[in-house]
Chains A and B, each alone.
Chain A
Amino acid sequence: MIWQFDIIILIFMVVAALIALRVKDLLGATLVFGIYSFLICLLWAGMGAVDVAFTEAAVGAGVSTVIMIATVFSTARRSKD
């Protein structure tokens, strides 16, 4: 674990979380969630938890993004609030 690397990833994670909350376009918010998952996957890989990182990359960033995109396309693309 390199702390400079960690700080950068953590800052990016906070930024990604804020963007996902602020963006009105739900498709964009979904993609930002994918970025968030990849960042947390990098953190886990850095800590040596490779299995968890692998699962996060496959499930968190891969499948759940696709499933949320599918849901966004069959509901509304723009957030009301």
Chain B
Amino acid sequence: MKLFGFIAVFIVGSVLLVMTMDFPGWGDTSSPASQGQVSSFYIEETINETKVPNMVTAVLADFRGYDTMFETVVIFIAGIGIIAVLRTFSDHSSPAPDEPEEDNEGGDLIIRSTCHLVVPLIQLFALYVVAHGHHSPGGGFQGGVMLGTSYILFALACGLPAAKKRMGERRAIIIAAVGIIIYAGWGVACLLFGGNFLDYSSLDPLLPGDAQMARSHSMLAVEIGVAFTVTAIMFAIYSNLATRGRLEKGL
């Protein structure tokens, strides 16, 4: 049986390796992807139409904004699904919403102090990644993941109860929903100003600058919405997985 598996893997793997020979080379200007009208439009017109130097973010948040909105919804649904499957409410222990002792952060002193030093830096950098995502590499997903990771680091170093005070379950779900509302609400605002859904240039009267700058500012707004959702969902996934849904004592 093992031999059969090995032969099957070998055949499929070698077929795939042979097939990759047919791919265009890296940076090949004569490949279909480089010669199509769509990609040359993005490369040439992004800076004129949106005033955004990072065309990856421009494609993600503006030209294909509809996709990104539903990607955010997918992340939200994934988090809600994990909470729905894993979360258990134990009956024997009373909920005890507020522990009497204020400073019940567990863990080693050195680890805790290092964590208290590092977490603000991570969060600052994550906010920079979100806010500067349309000018440099980064954006809502990356910045949101880093923000969520800072909460996870805090939960690892100081225990889950301390982290739950900063980002409780209820608050996490609300923040995640608010992120999607920001994104979709921005699209609805475009509708109210007479454009199509997520057609940011119609927000020109609302935002400083001309219609192109309105698209740039709107990208920042929707990235902030994405970051909200991703941050909260990442922490919710971690805290449910690490405690088997009890949300009592972390790792």
Query: Chain A: residues with CB nearer than 8 A to chain B?
Result: 1, 47, 50-51, 53-55, 58-59, 62-63, 66-67, 69-71, 73-74
B148 interfacial by beta-carbon distance below 8 Å: yes
B163 interfacial by beta-carbon distance below 8 Å: no
Q: Give the contacting residue for A73; candidates B56, B139, B251; CB below 8 A.
A: B251
| Complex contacts, B145 vs chain A, CB 8 Å | 55, 58-59, 62-63
Q: Give the contacting residue for B137; candidates A54, A62, A66, A67; CB below 8 A.
A: A54
Interface of A is mostly: helix
Query: Chain B: residues with CB nearer than 8 A to chain A?
Result: 26, 54, 56-57, 129, 137-139, 141-142, 145-146, 148-149, 152, 156, 234, 237-238, 241-244, 251
Which of B26, B149, B241, B244 is most buried by chain A, counting CB atoms within 10 A of its CB? B241
A58 and B149 contact, Cβ closer than 8 Å, known pairs A47-B26, A67-B237, A73-B251: yes
Enumerate the 7 nearest inter-chain pairs by beta-carbon distance, A residue then B residue, closest first: A70-B242, A50-B137, A58-B145, A70-B241, A51-B56, A58-B142, A51-B137
How far is A71 from B54 in the complex, measured between Cα atoms in Å?
Answer: 36
- Chain A residue at smallest Cβ distance from B242: A70
- Chain A residue at smallest Cβ distance from B126: A58
Q: Whole-angstrom distance from the CB of A58 to the nearest CB of chain B?
A: 4
How far is A1 from B245 in the complex, measured between Cα atoms in Å?
Answer: 45
- Chain B residue at smallest Cβ distance from A1: B26
Q: Is the CB of B238 within 8 A of A55?
A: no
How far is A67 from B129 in the complex, measured between Cα atoms in Å?
Answer: 22
A54 and B142 contact, Cβ closer than 8 Å, known pairs A73-B251, A74-B244: yes
How far is A74 from B146 in the complex, measured between Cα atoms in Å?
Answer: 24
Q: Give the contacting residue for B148; candidates A47, A63, A74; CB below 8 A.
A: A63
Q: Is the CB of A67 within 8 A of B241?
A: yes
Q: Is the CB of A74 within 8 A of B241?
A: yes
| Complex contacts, A73 vs chain B, CB 8 Å | 242, 251
How far is A55 from B144 in the complex, measured between Cα atoms in Å?
Answer: 11
Q: Whole-angstrom distance from the CB of B85 to the nearest CB of chain A?
A: 13
| Complex contacts, B241 vs chain A, CB 8 Å | 67, 70-71, 74
How far is A63 from B78 in the complex, measured between Cα atoms in Å?
Answer: 15
